[in-house]
Structure 1
Amino acid sequence: MPFWKTISTDLVRVLAPIAILLVGFVGFFVLGAQTKDPAKEKAAKQAPLVKTIPVQLHRGTIDFEVDGQVVPAREVTLSVEVSGRIVKKDAKARAGRYVEEGTVLFEIDSRDYELESERLRRELGQANVNLQEIDVQISSTEELLKLAEDDLALQIRAVKRVADLAAKRAVSESDVDRAQRGELTARNAMLQQKNEVSLLKTRRSRLEHAKELAETQLERAQLNVERCQITAPFDGVIITDTVEEADYVRAGDSVLTIEDTSKVEIACNLQMDEIYWVWGQLPRGTTLPEDQATQLRYELPSTEVSAFYRLGGREYGWSGGLDRYDGLGLDEATRTVPCRIVVDNPGEVHVGEKPAEGVLWPLAVDGPRALVRGMYVRLVVEVETQEELLSLPERAIQPGNRVWIVRDGEDPSGSGKLRVLKEVTVEVVDAAHDRVLVRADSAGIVAGDVLVVSPLSNPFTDMSVREEAVQ
């Protein structure tokens, strides 16, 4: 190899490492001279963008839904109270017919009862005549008694005069005996008249009792005459009818069943969690009188309920109220609480969902005419809670009832504050209309906190994010 080539090769081997070192030193000083950290600036620019919504304080009711079945509020079986043949059956006395209170549905042959009533009326008249007679006898006897008393007084004075004369030996002893005998006769006559008055008064008392008995029997006979007409006890619809005209019925036989249509009830079952909120409607610390406190242990507070029935693609609604337990305790099979809801105006049918308070709920012009037995309805129970609750959008809730909130965090470089994620587990108490309610005292969040509602990819606590507020 020529000498000059050998020298060139050696120079390259020596100068190449030196050149590499120089380039490294230059790069180090250039990068050190930069005012910003490119990696951090890039990381800041790459912080994920999240959509957020502020947490709101809940104002209003807690609404939860259950299913229920409409049942009669009152259903009465009419039975005859007198025996006889049915002589008339009204055209409305048929199953499915609506009747008004007081409508005569059946008439039983009343001739026997009318005759008995007339007989007792005459017997009562005779009792009045007997009392008048005895009153006349008592009056006459009392007059005779007065005369007997006057006669006795005269005889007593006569005996005294004879006794005075006998003391002067002006009369004989036979005259004295005669005067005393006259006194005894007068006294005996007076006693007989007294006994007669007492006897007549006793007889009058017996006649008065006989009159009262006749009056009672007459009243019963007249009642039997009235019972020959069977009338509707209230406005309602006849469910069953079991007899026809010319049938013979005995006292106690049932003839029809009628259902009261002035109101209906809805049978439903509530979960214990739902009953908890119903119980909690009284303000905390409320003190009730002992009698009311005892009653409240076994009764439900007044609670508004809306019932909805879907028909023809539309929903029809009724207003009602949670009335009472259906019995006492939990159903052993379902571990739920049977309850009854009362709808006072089953014929007042509304259309659509119940609007906000103060807005008129429009009445339906089509669809069902009334809420009737057998309908399966959706119930919305509106509970006025006394607890402080927070309202969150449902899309912010992650599996396990977790939510991500955005709060201020420290920048590790010390150059300022960052917005970072914090994970919080909440206790959901109700969910409806794309919103959930959580307890304010156990959620770890407060009204005004910012919730993440957009999807996150592999989020972690203190992860830096950028925000975009949404409505």
Structure 2
Amino acid sequence: MADSSAPPSSWAGILLRLLIPCGILAAGWYGFQLLADKIEKPKRPEAKKVLLRSRVEEINLVDYPVVIKTHAVVQPHNLVTLTSQVSGTVAHISPAFEVGAYFNQGDVLVEIDPSDYETALAIAESELDAAKSELKLARLVEERKLRLVESNAVSQGEVETASASREQSEANVSLAETKVQQAKLNLKRTKILAPFDGRVMSKLIGIGQLAGTNSPLGDVFAIDYVEVRLPISGEQREFLDLPEFSDDAELMVHFRDGILSSDKFAWSGKIVRTEGVLDENSRDLFAIARIDDPFGRKSEKPPLRIGQPVIASIEGRVLHDVIALPRSAVRQLDQVVLVHRQEKTLLPMKIDALWADAENVIVSAASIPQGMLLATTPMPFTPKGAKIEIIPPATQGISIAGSTTQDADKSTTN
């Protein structure tokens, strides 16, 4: 317990010891304030108002012809495996029976050694001559018996026996004639003829090789026309009038090479029928298109190869009084941005497409409000009702110091 009777000088000492450090701190703070520069906080710039800008296009009613595009592969309409109907050694092969070679109907493509069949024909003809001689003799005997039976020189039984012998000889002649015809047919079959105008796909036989009955000799296909099997989806079928019967109108089809992107190679064809059965996996309907003279032998067009992939463009129905929106102006597949013509404000909206292809999205006229323009410039955000600045169409010439190159040329000339 502090002594209350302590002298005043002790209290003054204590107070002095406390004031000295406080004064030092106060002097230091004051000096720091005098020496330190005041940090001025920069004023925040006023927020700039960002005005959206976009190019626009007019929205007009049009009649839009639908074109269905699909991919397929060229196929022969008639592919045949040639076989031999007789056996024997291959004696000759035509130069037209090489892979890729052309041939005409009736050309001899392969020939089997005919020696055995010529001998067989000679034997059959000899047997026919013998049978004819026997028939001649049997008829003479029958006639003689018939004369003698009138005078009772021979019995009726002998006459009947003579008639039976004549009938047997006639049967032998018919049989011999059939053998001759068969021998001639076998000899004819030693020459394998082209069944149509065509081209060789594969060759499976060589000279000196033994060909048996029904042995495959090679594959050939007709070249008068080819077929293309076109898959048509359910959505595409709504815009096509595919022929179902033989008297239905044919659809025009244009083909481009599916390998080369150039439009230089093009062919025209017609859809002549449909398969009538949906594919089990894709539920597509296959339409059969026909292309005449695919190898350009008459038209001098570039050849269309078997197995070649093609891109088909089919002429479909015409959509009347619709709006064709550029594909680039449609965002997220079903969204467009419209601009009010007078107020210059945005109106984003969803659309329900009637048809869409790589270039355009087709919508009904009732789905777009009247008095609107179509915004075609991509914008990061499109709030409804926001003001927009319309970018004018690009002028001709390149801008130089506020004037076009045409103006600069004029000033240079002056």
For normalisation by structure 2, the TM-score amounts to 0.65
Cα distance 1:51–1:436, how it changes in 2: closer, same or farther (>3 A)?
closer
User: Are 1:93 and 2:42 matched, yes or no?
Assistant: no
Pick from 366, 369, 378: which aligns with 1:444?
Answer: 366
Q: SS in structure 1 opposite 2:179? A: helix
CA distance in 2, matches of 1:98, 1:449: 63
Code of the aligned partner of 1:372: R
Equivalence for 2:271: 322
Aligned 8 A contact 1:66 1:379 in 2: yes
Pick from 16, 41, 54: which aligns with 2:60?
Answer: 54
Equivalence for 2:194: 232
Cα distance 1:349–1:255, how it changes in 2: closer, same or farther (>3 A)?
closer
Cα distance 1:52–1:464, how it changes in 2: closer, same or farther (>3 A)?
farther
More helix by share: 1
Q: SS in structure 1 opposite 2:264? A: strand
Pick from 293, 300, 307: which aligns with 1:345?
Answer: 293
Structure 1 residue 116 displacement after superposition = 1.0
- Superposed, 1:29-428 pairs within 5 Å as 51-58=57-64, 60=65, 62-145=66-149, 147-148=150-151, 189=152, 192-193=155-156, 195-278=157-240, 280=241, 302-309=250-257, 311=260, 313-325=262-274, 328-332=277-281, 334-348=282-296, 369-383=302-316, 385=317, 390-394=322-326, 401=334, 425-428=351-354
Cα distance 1:435–1:201, how it changes in 2: closer, same or farther (>3 A)?
farther
CA distance in 2, matches of 1:49, 1:340: 45
CA distance in 2, matches of 1:259, 1:303: 25
CA distance in 1, matches of 2:111, 2:388: 86
Equivalence for 1:21: none
Equivalence for 2:375: 454
Structure 1 residue 339 displacement after superposition = 4.3
Cα distance 1:452–1:134, how it changes in 2: closer, same or farther (>3 A)?
farther
Code of the aligned partner of 1:113: Y
Structure 1 residue 444 displacement after superposition = 2.7
Cα distance 1:101–1:426, how it changes in 2: closer, same or farther (>3 A)?
same
- Residue by residue over 1:376-432, the C-alpha shift from the partner in whole angstroms, topping out at 9 and shown as x without a partner, is 21111122x3875635242665656466889999x9xxxxxxx99896844322436
CA distance in 2, matches of 1:240, 1:466: 68
CA distance in 1, matches of 2:91, 2:103: 20
CA distance in 2, matches of 1:452, 1:201: 108
Structure 1 residue 252 displacement after superposition = 2.0
Listed as ranges, the gaps of 5+ residues in structure 2 are 1-53, 394-414
CA distance in 2, matches of 1:198, 1:388: 92
Aligned 8 A contact 1:300 1:322 in 2: no
CA distance in 2, matches of 1:281, 1:120: 58
Aligned 8 A contact 2:339 2:374 in 1: no
CA distance in 2, matches of 1:307, 1:125: 64
Code of the aligned partner of 1:373: I
Q: SS in structure 2 opposite 1:93? A: coil
Structure 1 residue 373 displacement after superposition = 1.8
Equivalence for 1:11: none
- Number of residue pairs the alignment of both structures matches: 335
Alignment RMSD: 4.4
Aligned 8 A contact 2:348 2:383 in 1: no
Code of the aligned partner of 1:57: D
More strand by share: 2
Structure 1 residue 308 displacement after superposition = 0.4
Code of the aligned partner of 1:454: A
Cα distance 1:445–1:68, how it changes in 2: closer, same or farther (>3 A)?
same
Structure 1 residue 55 displacement after superposition = 0.7
Structure 1 residue 221 displacement after superposition = 0.8
CA distance in 2, matches of 1:102, 1:373: 23
Cα distance 1:91–1:400, how it changes in 2: closer, same or farther (>3 A)?
closer
Aligned 8 A contact 1:267 1:340 in 2: yes
Aligned 8 A contact 2:242 2:274 in 1: no
Q: SS in structure 1 opposite 2:81? A: strand
Aligned 8 A contact 2:100 2:201 in 1: yes
Q: SS in structure 1 opposite 2:167? A: helix
Structure 1 residue 93 displacement after superposition = 2.9
Aligned 8 A contact 1:53 1:451 in 2: yes
Code of the aligned partner of 1:304: M
CA distance in 1, matches of 2:221, 2:197: 8
Code of the aligned partner of 1:264: V
CA distance in 1, matches of 2:242, 2:318: 6
For normalisation by structure 1, the TM-score amounts to 0.58
Code of the aligned partner of 2:375: S
- Per mean C-alpha deviation after superposition, the further-off stretch among 124-133 and 112-121 is 124-133
Listed as ranges, the gaps of 5+ residues in structure 1 are 1-47, 149-188, 283-291, 351-361, 412-418
Structure 1 residue 301 displacement after superposition = 6.8
Identity %: 21
